[in-house]
Structure 1
Amino acid sequence: MPAHTGSAPAVSLQGRAATGRYAYRAKAPRPEASDHAEHAKLAYALGVHRQLLSHAQSAIRTLTAARNELIAQAIEDGLTIATVSAVTGENMKSVRTIALAYDDLHPGGVPRSAHVAALKQKSEELRAAEQHRHRITERREALIVMALRNQVCDDLELASLTGLTPDHIRRSTRGIARPA
């Protein structure tokens, strides 16, 4: 018989901790390797889409700020609000609001055609960035639907992977058939 050192054995033969504390021994089914691999792929894809969406939104903010500055400078240099509205696709109230936000501009002396060309180019870049963001959002929604249909993730885990709220996940996937 081994010498007694004064400390109790860690686990008794019945599976209980010798100290009297409860030891969790759930027999919950472990996910199989294929389920785990599918979960890992989905989590990675959602993480990538979250990053891409963040970059796209940052690009849109930058392009919007640059376009707004061009709008304000064009108005300051004498272009009409109607012309700027037609070139950019913004409504006249928005153009007026943008122009009034930049009160420290001075006339730049740039010709009208240069303003129109710059506004067209910046507006096209902004529309392209918004379309890119829309495509990323559509792919993310498709991944969410796939995860719910295949029961790879639940609403809470999807919310944490996408940066959305669980309520948003539930609302956006309301009509989707989920296996019971």
Structure 2
Amino acid sequence: MSSPRIGVLALQGDVREHLAALESSGAAGSSVRRAEELDEVDGLIIPGGESTTMSNLLTVFDLLEPLRARLKDGLPAYGSCAGMILLAGEILDTRPDAHHLDALDITVRRNAFGRQVDSFETDLQFAGIEGDAVRAVFIRAPWVERVGPDVEVLATVPEGPAAGRVVAVRQGNVMATSFHPEVTGDRRVHQQFVDLVRKSF
């Protein structure tokens, strides 16, 4: 079975943690900061961080248009937290000059769960993942307020004030979660993405 080469956008966020998760999920991980590095990968993870800062850094590193082009051509991608925001088609509560990649037909709300002090963990049922629930860590996380007709909802918040809110989606070769699976040691979300990339060869 071939090992796909999956890049992690290395502008901000949990780059090392995502690379470690990829390696333990059967992929060859690499950092991506330049367009030529983007050209060499079979899939891409966009990690958490601060979405408006990351959108600015995409332009600073001349990655915005090359990344948009590769996504339009079908590059598999997975975004966690700020990565979900960047992949969205519409973003609420963001700066007017912020860029996005328009790879998912969703509307997301930045910092929907509140500030850093409102970070929390919960267990989620995640479509396509069998066994125990997925432990999800939410840190200044977005949620999805609208999904397009071609978007599959993978997980929703099970209880509490945000019960029913959409926090994981997939559309074709693109996945996104509001939470950070790279920090828990549970590799099943990454494994699902690696399998998705492998099937796209």
* Shorter-chain TM-score tier: under 0.3
Q: Which has the higher strand share?
A: 2
Structure 1 length normalisation: TM-score?
A: 0.22
Greater Rg over alpha carbons, structure:
1
Q: Which has the higher helix share?
A: 1
Structure 2 length normalisation: TM-score?
A: 0.21
